[in-house]
Amino acid sequence: MSSLKNNQLIMKKFEAKKFSIPTLKGISDKTTEEHMKLYEGYVKNANLILEQIEELSQDVAKNAYTIGELQRRFSFEFDGMRNHEYYFGSLENGPAALTEESALKNKIAEDFGSFEKWLENFKLVAKTRGIGWAILSYDEKENRLLNSWADEQHLGHLTGLKPILMLDMWEHSFVADYQPSGKATYIEDFFANLNWGVIEGNFKN
C-alpha cells in the first residue's frame, strides 16, 4: 500500500476495473451504468484520501488528527470499491448455474444443511432493514462458510473471513427499477443473473 522514500510516505494508487456485464434480468442497463459510476467514485475517493494522507504525513505532529479522520473515511471508500468489485464480478458474462458436482455447493450443504436452507437464510440476511451488504464468506480457521450483514459497506465485516459472494442492498442498486417495495424481487433477480462460475472461483481461490 505504501513505501517510504526520503522520509516521505508514497502511496500506491488503485485503478478502477472494467466489467463485461450483459443486459440483466430486472436490472436496467441505466441502473448498471449509474451504479458503475458510483463504483468508480469510490476508487477515485480512495486515491484522493491516500494523496491527502501522503501530503499531510510530511508533518505528522501537526496533522495527526486529520490523518486519523482520513483513515477512518478510507475504510468507507475502500470497502465501497472492493465490495462492488465482488458484486459486478459475479454478474459478468451472463448467468451460469452451480453444478451438482460443485465443491462450493457441497460445502454449502455441509455447513447449512442444504443449498436451499443456505439460500433461504442468505435472502433473509439480504432483507435486513437499512443499507448494507449481504455476504457469504469463508472462515479458514474454522473451515466453514458464514452469511453476514455489513452496515453501509464497512461496518460489521467479519475479521479474517474471505468474501465469496456479495449482494449490494443499498437503495441505489434497485430502487430505480423496483421501487422501495421491490427489494425481494431484486434479490430474486440477482440470483437469476448470477454467474456461479465466478463465485465458485472465489471459493477455490
For residue 167, give the nearest of 149, 180, 142, 155 by alpha carbon: 149
Contact 100, 109 (CB under 8 A): no
Q: How confident is the model at residue 8 (pLDDT cuts 50, 70, 90)?
A: low
On the question of pLDDT at 161 being above 60, the answer is yes
On the question of pLDDT at 143 being above 60, the answer is yes
The answer to the question of residue 107 being in a domain is yes
Contact 164, 138 (CB under 8 A): yes
The answer to the question of residue 61 being in a domain is no
Mean pLDDT along residues 115-121: 98
pLDDT digits (tens, 9 = 90+) for 167-192: 999 999 999 999 999 999 999 999 99
Contact 169, 128 (CB under 8 A): yes
Range of the domain at 196: 103-204
pLDDT at 125: 98
Cell readout for 20 is 463485461
Q: What is the pTM of this model?
A: 0.92
The answer to the question of residue 54 being in a domain is no
pLDDT at 48: 97
Amino acid of residue 30: K
pLDDT at 147: 98
On average, the pLDDT of the chain sits at 94
The answer to the question of residue 192 being in a domain is yes
The answer to the question of residue 140 being in a domain is yes
Mean pLDDT along residues 20-47: 97
Q: How confident is the model at residue 37 (pLDDT cuts 50, 70, 90)?
A: very high
For residue 130, give the nearest of 169, 172, 87, 186 by alpha carbon: 169
Mean pLDDT along residues 143-157: 95
CA distances from 38 to 8, 83, 188 (A): 31, 12, 23
On the question of pLDDT at 205 being above 90, the answer is no
Q: What is the CATH number of the domain that holds 197?
A: 3.55.40.20
pLDDT digits (tens, 9 = 90+) for 83-97: 999 999 999 999 999
Backbone dihedral angles phi then psi of residue 166, each to the nearest 5 degrees = -135, 130
Cα dihedral 118, 124, 128, 132, rounded to 10, equals 40
The answer to the question of residue 197 being in a domain is yes
Sort strands 132-139 and 8-11 into parallel, antiparallel or unpaired: unpaired
Amino acid of residue 26: G
How many structural domains does the chain have? 1
The answer to the question of residue 1 being in a domain is no
The answer to the question of residue 74 being in a domain is no
pLDDT at 149: 98
